[in-house]
A and B are shown apart, each in its own frame.
Chain A
Amino acid sequence: MLHVTIEIVARGYGRVIRLMVAFGLWCIPLGVMAQSIDDSVTSFDLENGMKVVVIEDHRVPVVQHMVWYPAGAADEPVGSSGIAHFLEHLMFKATDTLAAGEFSKVVAANGGSDNAFTSWDYTAYFQRVAADRLDLMMRMEADRMRNLRLTDDDIVTERQVIIEERNQRTENNPNALFNEQMNAAQYLNHGYGIPIIGWLHEMAELEMTDVYSFYRAHYAPNNAILVVSGDVEPDQVRQLANQYYGTIPSDTKIAKRVRPQEPPQRAERRLIFRDPRVGQPYVSRSYIAPERDRGNQQQAAALTFLAEVLGGGKTSLLAEELQFNSEIAVYAGAFYRGVSEDDTTFDIVVVPTPDVSLQEAEDAMDTVIEQLFETGIGVERLDRIKRQVRASEIYARDNAEGVARRYGAALASGLTVADVQAWPDILHSVTEEQILEVARSVLRHDASVTGWLVQSAETAE
């Protein structure tokens, strides 16, 4: 039904600047798990290879049941962009035992809500419902893992729906179109360069055979992660999971994820996107950057801090220089999304004040980066971020579903439970030297894409 793009929230001024940065999933600036939260986490594998994570929170008798498939837009066959997301929509149609639409109807009739989302690395389905309905949710979710029965009519009608979805999210929104171009320019060879929802001309051609071939290639218990959070006991989840998912044979045809990787970037890339609907021009910069890797998350932790230091709110270097010490920008921010199967990006956005050109805004941004290398970060700034990291571990205990999403996304992106649990300590151990070192290796002009979003040719000057 939906894939989520994040909005940049200009902190402290009570409104949202409507810029869309093309991240696949909501981005939690410091995605941190409390160690004390780990006490409530249990994980195990079923015999058929399905991974299971249970997060206990017994405060209210509610459960969230999620199944994540590590199969997203970056796993699509060439020419079939949008098929992962199209399948996500069609998963709410008929199976051998449920009529089209019945899945959601049954969830609603049990007082629950359900939905799904697609990213580049995964597709996930979830229901929130009273804890004593978990049994029913598992039965239906296990059913549609293998038994989807689509009609030609489903394909035709739902294809119109996803095209309207693309119209709504992207075609009607110059910021989204611009981000799509930025991504395409950043990734020459990897599937992260195609939009999750798909290119319009390819979406229009998606057929039943494409859907089933993607479904059969990826949807099986040995390629799925079950994450249950809320008022549940691990033993009870184990028993139910064995009953419903454990009886589905593993599929030996599921191939290990192999994707074309990016070649080294040897040239700076630049683009200008012009659209008469642009009300507020801005500069966007992206750099290819390492992601959190299994057993190796140190660089990603340093990049997480780098984003905070450079552009994580009013006290960041970009905000200080461009919004406070000068009147270059109305907004400046930096973003890094570490949970990703393959190389991710580090992004910077600068929205100039009316009398400042995009060239001036871009130059000022580059000056701030150079200053970072010269003057460093300072203990005080680093400590401030670490204090927030610690606090977010406490706040996370109030949000079991947030914790569930982090485990699901991490496990569907090549990380392990141990990696997720090691992450807070790794963040705490980050040093200034590590941040500057990773900044030097990532923030290089010849490994960057710079885009200008403008209303017309004139305003690009």
Chain B
Amino acid sequence: MKLIVTAFVVCLLPLQVLAGVDIKPVRSAGGIDAWLVEDHSIPFMALELRFRGGTTLDDEGTRGAVNLMTGLLDEGAGDLDSQSYARALEDLAASISFDASDDDVSVSARFLSENRKDVLDLLRLALIEPRFDQDAIERVRAQILSGLRSDATDPDVIAGNTFSKLAYGSHPYGSSGDGTLDSVSGINRDALVAVHRAALSRDRLYVGAVGDITADELGVLLDRLLSDLPKEGGPIPEPVEVLISGGVTVVPFDTPQSVVLFGHEGIDRDDPDFIAAFVMNHILGGGGFESRLMQEVREKRGLTYGVYSYLLPKDLAAVYLGSVASTNDRVAEAVDVIRDEWKKFAEAGATLEELEAAKTYLTGAYPLRFDGHGRIASIMTGMQMQGLALDYINVRNDLVNAVSLDDIRRVAKRVLDPERLHFVIVGQPDGLESTKD
């Protein structure tokens, strides 16, 4: 197999592998920018499109409209109704999926080279000429309402929604982008047409392509696919202040194991300390069995199956979150241990041994992410949205290796705030009650 996604072993660190993904910037004749990784070894390609804004573009009264609209894009377009569209796509053995999240609407497509033109015609119809037929609206609405009814008794979702509300209040981040039973029931066709116009536009578009296509071919493809989208979309809300302060919120729910979501304000992706904070989090609770939280809560005490923490820098706010689940009569201990570890780390930082282990892991694991066309297309598109440079993949491990013990100590003091750590607990936790403001 020919290598375009090349990678090689370098000698900076004896154990390091570097994923030298060879990204080409492409600009179409019509002015659409994309990042491309060419690989002609397999006759197919993956295409990823993202439109910044996502469910934050919902109007207050029609929460869930962007999500419903996104779910309807392939439910009838042009002169094809929903089933004809699905059959056409199956005939071409292609897959196209649409998703709406807090910050973007994303489109992921995978198709054989021999069917490229036909698949792109179908995708274009979905993006430019969705029909929003009334029967399709009702059908997809019913699916979303069904999901919302399940969510209402799902402790993980209850915890997430409760935390969001406390953290962001009335900002769109403060509620689920899926909407509520009431809001979704009230969305009409006009609202869907409006959010379609607002959410899918060229001023907020990011494109990643991987596979069997040249730069020239990609340019032509993108112009045909996207040039009929509106130039400008609806206004994206202003950044929001993270409101949450320290304490405990118990949401009573009759289930044997309490589900806990904890966190406070985080750190922006473009903050100069972000990489140091990322390494710090890996040591504290970032996946892996070696993290302090995993060692203290699971390995030493058997209080949970899993405990994790993660930085979540969204477009309009940054939070630092974690999760754990423990039986109702043991969850209070898990919460205590986590709070202690948070405090300890804020005060004393990490050891040199921990830092070195984190660096070897993070730099070694990085190239393992680039496994497959779809994955690479998605990573590249995310990089563009975060404003990262074309060569970021090649320098990223150097950035990680440059983090010092002092950096970790400084960023731990700055970011970790045990006093402001808030725990949302869904269940019947023994010995824990909601704190008063």
Binding site for B on A (CB under 8 A): 10-18, 57-62, 92, 101, 104-105, 108-113, 128-133, 156-165, 167-168, 171-172, 276-280, 313-315, 320, 323-324, 327, 330-331, 351, 353-354, 384-385, 387-388, 390-392, 394-395, 397-399, 401
Known contacts A164-B304, A167-B325, A395-B110: does B364 contact A130 (CB below 8 Å)? Answer: yes
CB–CB A104/B288 < 8 A = yes
Known contacts A101-B289, A157-B301, A165-B305: does B325 contact A394 (CB below 8 Å)? Answer: no
CB–CB B302/A161 < 8 A = yes
CB–CB B255/A277 < 8 A = yes
Residues from chain A with a CB closer than 8 A to the CB of B15 are: 110-111, 130, 133
- Select one of A113, A163, A279 contacting B149, CB under 8 A: A279
CB–CB B373/A398 < 8 A = yes
Task: Please tell me which stretch of B24-32, B151-159, B262-270, B416-424 contacts chain A, meaning at least 4 of its Cβ atoms lie within 8 angstroms of it.
Answer: B151-159
CB–CB A172/B257 < 8 A = yes
Known contacts A104-B288, A172-B255, A323-B139: does B90 contact A17 (CB below 8 Å)? Answer: no
A109 to B306, CA, bound (A): 21
CB–CB B357/A109 < 8 A = yes
Residues from chain B with a CB closer than 8 A to the CB of A14 are: 67, 70-71, 97-100
A280 to B149, CA, bound (A): 6
Instruction: Say how far A425's CB is from chain B's closest CB, in angstroms.
Output: 18
CB–CB B83/A320 < 8 A = yes
Residues from chain B with a CB closer than 8 A to the CB of A129 are: 364, 368
Known contacts A172-B259, A315-B87, A384-B91: does B357 contact A108 (CB below 8 Å)? Answer: yes
Instruction: Say how far A136's CB is from chain B's closest CB, in angstroms.
Output: 10
Q: Given A353-B146, A392-B93, 12 other A-B contacts at CB below 8 A?
A: A11-B97, A12-B86, A15-B67, A15-B147, A17-B146, A60-B7, A104-B288, A105-B289, A314-B82, A384-B87, A391-B94, A401-B371
Instruction: Say how far A10's CB is from chain B's closest CB, in angstroms.
Output: 6
- Select one of B254, B302, B368 contacting A277, CB under 8 A: B254
Query: Chain B, 355-394, contact with A by CB distance < 8 Å: what is the 0/1 string?
Result: 0010011011101101111000000000000000000000
CB–CB A168/B70 < 8 A = no
Known contacts A14-B99, A61-B7: does B290 contact A105 (CB below 8 Å)? Answer: yes
Which of chain B's residues has its CB closest to A385's CB?
A: B90
Task: Please tell me which stretch of B38-46, B160-168, B226-234, B342-350 contacts chain A, meaning at least 4 of its Cβ atoms lie within 8 angstroms of it.
Answer: B38-46
A157 to B299, CA, bound (A): 7
- B: number of interface residues (CB 8 Å): 84
Is there a chain A Cβ closer than 8 Å to B436's Cβ?
Answer: no
Is there a chain A Cβ closer than 8 Å to B142's Cβ?
Answer: yes
Residues from chain B with a CB closer than 8 A to the CB of A397 are: 42
Known contacts A324-B82, A397-B42: does B93 contact A279 (CB below 8 Å)? Answer: no
A113 to B70, CA, bound (A): 35
CB–CB B372/A399 < 8 A = yes
- Select one of B74, B82, B90, B146 contacting A351, CB under 8 A: B146
Query: Chain B, 134-146, contact with A by CB distance < 8 Å: what is the 0/1 string?
Result: 0000111011111
Query: Taking chain B's interface residues, is the majority helix, strand, or loop, or is none over half, making it mixed?
Result: mixed
Which of chain A's residues has its CB closest to B136's CB?
A: A324
Known contacts A59-B1, A398-B42: does B361 contact A172 (CB below 8 Å)? Answer: no
CB–CB A394/B150 < 8 A = no
CB–CB A59/B41 < 8 A = yes
A320 to B3, CA, bound (A): 44
Instruction: Say how far A333's CB is from chain B's closest CB, in angstroms.
Output: 13
Residues from chain A with a CB closer than 8 A to the CB of B365 are: 111-113
CB–CB B71/A15 < 8 A = yes
Question: What are some 19 contacts across the A-B interface (CB < 8 A)?
Answer: A10-B143, A12-B71, A12-B86, A15-B67, A60-B19, A111-B360, A129-B368, A157-B299, A157-B301, A159-B302, A164-B327, A280-B147, A315-B83, A324-B82, A324-B139, A330-B142, A384-B91, A387-B90, A398-B44
Interface residues in B31-79 by Cβ distance below 8 A to A read: 39, 41-44, 67, 70-71, 74-75
Known contacts A172-B155, A394-B112: does B255 contact A108 (CB below 8 Å)? Answer: no
**How many pairs, one residue from A and one from B, have CB atoms within 8 Å of each other in the complex?**
223
Known contacts A58-B1, A129-B364: does B298 contact A161 (CB below 8 Å)? Answer: yes
A243 to B257, CA, bound (A): 46
Interface residues in B156-199 by Cβ distance below 8 A to A read: 178
CB–CB B290/A108 < 8 A = yes
CB–CB B42/A394 < 8 A = yes
Known contacts A15-B147, A130-B15: does B139 contact A62 (CB below 8 Å)? Answer: no
Residues from chain B with a CB closer than 8 A to the CB of A156 are: 302
Is there a chain A Cβ closer than 8 Å to B17's Cβ?
Answer: yes
Which of chain A's residues has its CB closest to B96's CB?
A: A12
Residues from chain B with a CB closer than 8 A to the CB of A314 are: 82-83, 86
- Select one of B67, B75, B146, B306 contacting A12, CB under 8 A: B75
A18 to B8, CA, bound (A): 41
Residues from chain A with a CB closer than 8 A to the CB of B70 are: 14
Which of chain B's residues has its CB closest to A112's CB?
A: B364
CB–CB B290/A394 < 8 A = no
A46 to B17, CA, bound (A): 31
- Select one of A58, A59, A277, A391 contacting B112, CB under 8 A: A391
Interface residues in B105-124 by Cβ distance below 8 A to A read: 110, 112
A108 to B291, CA, bound (A): 11
Residues from chain B with a CB closer than 8 A to the CB of A17 are: 143, 146-147, 150
Residues from chain A with a CB closer than 8 A to the CB of B140 are: 13
Which of chain B's residues has its CB closest to A133's CB?
A: B15
A418 to B9, CA, bound (A): 36
